[in-house]
Amino acid sequence: SFLKPGGFFLISVPAKGTFWGADDELAGHFRRYDKEELEHALEQSGFKILKIYSYGFPFLNILKLFREFMANRKPEGTIKESKQARTKKSGLNLFRISLLEQFPILNRNTLFPFIKFSNLFNNYDLAEGYLCLAKRNE
pLDDT 10s per residue in the chain (138 long)?
688 999 999 999 999 999 999 888 888 889 999 999 999 999 999 999 999 999 999 999 998 998 888 888 876 655 667 767 766 666 554 444 566 677 778 788 898 999 999 999 999 999 999 999 999 998
Residues contacting 35, CB < 8 A, separation 6+: 15, 52, 54, 125, 130
The C-alpha atoms of residue 57 and residue 123 are separated, in whole angstroms, by 10
Residue 81 in domain:
yes
Question: Tell me, what's the pLDDT at 2?
Answer: 84
DSSP string, 55-112: -STTHHHHHHHHHHHHHHHSPTT---S-HHHHHHH-SHHHHHHHHHHH-TT-SHHHHH
**How far does Cα 70 stand from its chain's mean position?**
18
Residue 68 in domain:
yes
Give the range of the structural domain holding residue 39, as residue numbers without chain letter: 8-136
Q: How many domains does the chain have?
A: 1
Residue 3 in domain:
no
Residue 1 in domain:
no
Residue 94 in domain:
yes
Question: Tell me, what's the pLDDT at 70?
Answer: 84
Residues contacting 65, CB < 8 A, separation 6+: none
Residue 108 in domain:
yes
Residue 2 in domain:
no
Question: Tell me, what's the pLDDT at 21?
Answer: 93
Question: Tell me, what's the pLDDT at 93?
Answer: 46
Whether 23 contacts 67, CB under 8 Å: yes
Question: Tell me, what's the pLDDT at 27?
Answer: 83
Q: Which of 106, 105, 133, 102 is nearest to 39 (CA)?
A: 133
Q: Which of 5, 11, 1 is nearest to 132 (CA)?
A: 11
Residue 17 in domain:
yes
